[in-house]
Amino acid sequence: MKTANIGYPRIGAHREWKKALEAFWKNETTEETLKDALKNIRIENLEKQQKKNLDFIPVADSSWYDHILDTAWSLNIIPERFRSLEDTPGLDTYFAIARGTKDGVASEMTKWFNTNYHYIVPEFDDKTKPALVHNRWSDAFNEAKEIGIDGGVPVIVGPYTFLSLSKGVEQFSERLNELKAIYINIFKQLEKDGAAWVQVDEPILSTSLTTEEVQTIAELYNDIKAELPQLNLKLQTYFSNIAHWEIIKKSNVDGFGLDFVHDGETQLKTLTESGFPEGKTLFAGVLNGRNIWRSDIQTVGVLVKALNALTPDIVIQPSCSLLHVPVTVELEKDLPSWLRDGLAFADEKLTELSIVSDWAAGKTTGADLQLKALATLQEAPGRQKNEVRQAVAALTDEDFHRASPYAERKEKQKEAFQLPLLPTTTIGSLPQTQTVRQERLKWRRKEKSNEEYEAFIQAETKRWVDIQEELDIDVLVHGEFERTDMVEYFGEKLDGFAFTRYGWVQSYGSRCVKPPVIYGDVAFREPMTVAESKYAQSLTSRPVKGMLTGPITILNWSFVRNDVSRRDVVLQIGLALREEIRHLEENGITMIQVDEPALREGLPLKKNLHEAYLNDAVESFRLATSAVKPTTQIHTHMCYSEFDKIIKSIDALDADVISIETSRSHGELVSAFEDDHYDKGIGLGVYDIHSPRVPTQEEMVQNIKRALTVLDPEQFWVNPDCGLKTRAEKETVEALKVMVKAAHDVRESVLSKQQ
Ligand code: GLN
Ligand code: ZN
């Protein structure tokens, strides 16, 4: 049985890529050095894959920053503000689009389907003239040939997905035709170079498309194929089953790459019912490219056999690019062996492909070892905690409801807090200076004792409680100085989590994240945030919000075990947070914010799956927050603006106050409230924290007033649009000063109108 990879992590096992890029951006190295460094990483990645005996090795899956930007830049799709930078767009233009310049803001960045990877949104306008200016696919194919890889498979994002993810595309079908012609040229060159296959990624096919849209895609590939008798086209999708298989299967391509892991049962069912076209190759994504667990080879083998019964020509591969997993488990020397042996990062997944292929051929040694590792993991300490299982099983409807409805709580809270109209607050984190980071590092390296570190954090908290009082902010925060990452902080304190040392995955550009691993039942051990919150509250008579990360965000930003349902895991997290909230309340914390910034990104690609996901998100949140007294005010925060589609679920969280990031698209969000009535407390960020710029009082007043055209002043809160962790202190204090003034200004004018 043949094996393929469809994309390899670009960051390097030690994040060499990040280091090379950042040194270049800081002007510490030249363009030549950067190019050499990236070439070395590419070659090393290819050589590693060569050793895995793959039949198909992807090329051109590397990037300078992001593969969508690579495509746009190579096709001369440059935002207007950067067009005059260079005659032919070179690296200066490329990085200007990605990172902005003093004169031009960077292009928007957004999440890649339902992952935590962010791509740069291509921008079209009526003067955009697509043309092939860099044939990076041909270059990559030839580069691989030089080291003896003759059958490299160039990977390119397909024109339909590319255009669908772009903005400013006015005449879609004209633009599609324009791109089609360019793609045909790219492919013709590849044909000349000697490529046998090209992989065209159209993950848009995994979303809910109409039959017309899928028909257009099928025709697009018929047209392309008609010009390329020699070259084999592989139409690749991932992240879910393909929409309208019965249409797309008739397209004239030579092979289909399908995901049999995510919604894989649906995919298999469709294929069984509707058949696989004769004479074509099925590239079957049978290993999960998005998690880090070893596969149960037997189950995979059974799937492969079922597929083989449908069609003879099968190539097995990961379900998607391995971009979404870390490079190798080999570096994880600190993990206990029962856990380490149960993990498969990119390199191990490629080995698994040959284990599956051996298994299918009757050689089971590799598979047996793998099954043993999984059995050991299953028996591991903490994998199953009976008290946790019982607690989840014993949940009743009551556990998901607050004792009194919002209308009653609202009155009681009003009475208890006596807040002014349009109260001011912030989202939680305050500037984490270099000093804060250094002190934490010293403490982690044991150069600082626990006492010294805690004293430092307390001093920083106190300094900022004073600043906030001085600024006259109504509801304070402790500042989150003790946290690096909002998920890691809780993961380290809960049972069931493990942390890798080098398990990095790219999030955007040179930024990588190291998601925690949820391997066991999640359980509360001891209070996680009480000391910090209690200390901060002891310093002031104003309320200080307790600050927690919510269940669905912890789930979405972790690598999650796959032996129990995600619903069970998220309920376990909800229960653990419920316990934390109980402790906060007992210790005099009267406002508690539970952040859910990742709620939206986890939305499944298929509309018919939205409800179940949102239901889990809502229930786990309510489980965490429902046991509090009516006077305890529950806040939540989310950072995205496209929330009109899920406003019902947000309402269903039953949080007393929500703050949302909106300042970049204020108008749009505000209009969402014209259509949907929302009656709880709400803060629509009145300024953008993603830029160091201090907005004017006038701008903020405008933002508040605009919101008040659709929201009641009695429900509106004034706050920045996200946490202030990445900002410098000086600009933060200035901006908050302006914010408080703006709030006071509007407060007075509303009050005077009321009289
Ligand atoms: N409370 C967190 C903070 O202020 C929220 C972060 C987020 O929204 N991503 O940093
Ligand atoms: Zn946010």
* pLDDT tens digits, 417-433: 999 999 999 999 999 99
* pLDDT tens digits, 451-500: 999 999 999 999 999 999 999 999 999 999 999 899 999 999 999 999 99
Q: Which of 430, 483, 486, 511 to mutate to test the pocket of ligand 1 (most atoms within 8 A of CB)?
A: 486
Task: Output the pLDDT for position 755.
Answer: 80
Q: Which of 637, 640, 662, 736 to mutate to test the pocket of ligand 1 (most atoms within 8 A of CB)?
A: 637
- Residue 556 CB less than 6 A away from ligand 1: no
Confidence of residue 565 (pLDDT cuts 50, 70, 90): very high
Task: Output the pLDDT for position 622.
Answer: 98
Q: Which atom of ligand 1 is nearest to the CA of 661?
A: 8
Q: 199, 258, 237: which is closest to 57 by C-alpha?
A: 199
The CA 253 to ligand 1 mean position distance, Å, reads 46
- Residue 426 CB less than 6 A away from ligand 1: no
Q: Which of 426, 476, 480, 596 to mutate to test the pocket of ligand 1 (most atoms within 8 A of CB)?
A: 480
Residue 236 above 60 pLDDT? yes
Rounded to a whole number of angstroms, the distance between the first and last alpha carbons of the chain is: 81
Task: Output the pLDDT for position 690.
Answer: 77
The owner of tokens 């074509």 is 280
The CA 638 to ligand 2 mean position distance, Å, reads 5
Task: Output the pLDDT for position 647.
Answer: 86
List strand residue ranges (DSSP E) for 397-533, in order.
476-477, 495-498, 505-508, 511-513, 517-523
Task: Count CB neighbours of 48 within 10 A.
Answer: 17
Mean pLDDT, range 443-454, rounded to an integer: 95
Indicate the average pLDDT of the chain. 95
CATH number of 411-754: 3.20.20.210
Q: Ligand 1 atom 10: the closest Cα is on which residue?
A: 723
Task: Output the pLDDT for position 283.
Answer: 98
- Residue 598 CB less than 6 A away from ligand 1: no
DSSP lists the bridge partners of residue 454 as none
Which amino acid does the sequence have at 133?
V
Q: Which atom of ligand 1 is nearest to the CA of 547?
A: 1
Residue 280 above 70 pLDDT? yes
* pLDDT tens digits, 528-545: 999 999 999 999 999 999
Q: Which numbered ligand comes closest to the C-alpha of 596?
A: 1
Q: Which numbered ligand comes closest to the C-alpha of 660?
A: 2
In a 3-state reduction of DSSP, which class is residue 208?
Answer: coil
User: Which of 118, 677, 690, 744 is flagged as catalytic?
Assistant: 690
Q: 638, 558, 538: which is closest to 594 by C-alpha?
A: 638
Residues of the chain by 3-state class (helix, strand, coil), percent to 5: 50, 15, 40
- Transcribe 85-123 into DSSP letters: S-SS--HHHHHHHHH--SSSPPPPEEE-TTSS-EEEPPB
- Residue 722 CB less than 6 A away from ligand 1: yes
Residue 274 above 70 pLDDT? yes
Q: Ligand 1 atom 9: the closest Cα is on which residue?
A: 597
Domain ranges of the chain: 411-754
Q: Which atom of ligand 1 is nearest to the CA of 639?
A: 8
The CA 594 to ligand 1 mean position distance, Å, reads 10
**Rounded percentage of the chain residues whose pLDDT exceeds 70:** 99
Mean pLDDT, range 522-530, rounded to an integer: 98
Q: Which numbered ligand comes closest to the C-alpha of 593?
A: 1
Q: What is d(CA 175, CA 72) in angstroms, rounded to the nearest whole number?
A: 13
Residue 443 above 80 pLDDT? yes
Strand 57-59 vs strand 2-3: parallel, antiparallel, or unpaired? unpaired
* CA distances from residue 240 to 138, 237, 317 in whole angstroms, order as listed: 30, 8, 15
Confidence of residue 523 (pLDDT cuts 50, 70, 90): very high
Give the dihedral sign, CA 282/286/288/289.
negative
List strand residue ranges (DSSP E) for 653-696, in order.
657-660, 681-684
Instruction: Sort residue 542 into left (φ over 0), alpha (ψ -120 to 50) or beta.
Output: beta
Strand 505-508 vs strand 314-318: parallel, antiparallel, or unpaired? unpaired
* pLDDT tens digits, 60-102: 999 999 999 999 999 999 999 999 999 999 999 999 999 988 8
Task: Output the pLDDT for position 95.
Answer: 96
Mean pLDDT, range 221-246, rounded to an integer: 96
**Contact assessment for residue 172 and residue 204, using Cβ atoms and an 8 Å cutoff:** no
Mean pLDDT, range 239-255, rounded to an integer: 96
- Residue 430 CB less than 6 A away from ligand 1: no
- Residue 486 CB less than 6 A away from ligand 1: yes
The owner of tokens 């900002």 is 727
Whether 690 is catalytic is yes
In a 3-state reduction of DSSP, which class is residue 596?
Answer: coil
The CA 598 to ligand 2 mean position distance, Å, reads 9
Q: What is d(CA 596, CA 486) in angstroms, rounded to the nearest whole number?
A: 11
The CA 348 to ligand 1 mean position distance, Å, reads 34
- Residue 428 CB less than 6 A away from ligand 1: yes
Between 359 and 664, where is the model more confident?
359
* pLDDT tens digits, 635-684: 999 987 677 778 889 999 999 999 987 655 555 667 777 777 889 999 98
- Residue 429 CB less than 6 A away from ligand 1: yes
Task: Output the pLDDT for position 667.
Answer: 58
- Residue 341 CB less than 6 A away from ligand 1: no
Task: Output the pLDDT for position 243.
Answer: 84
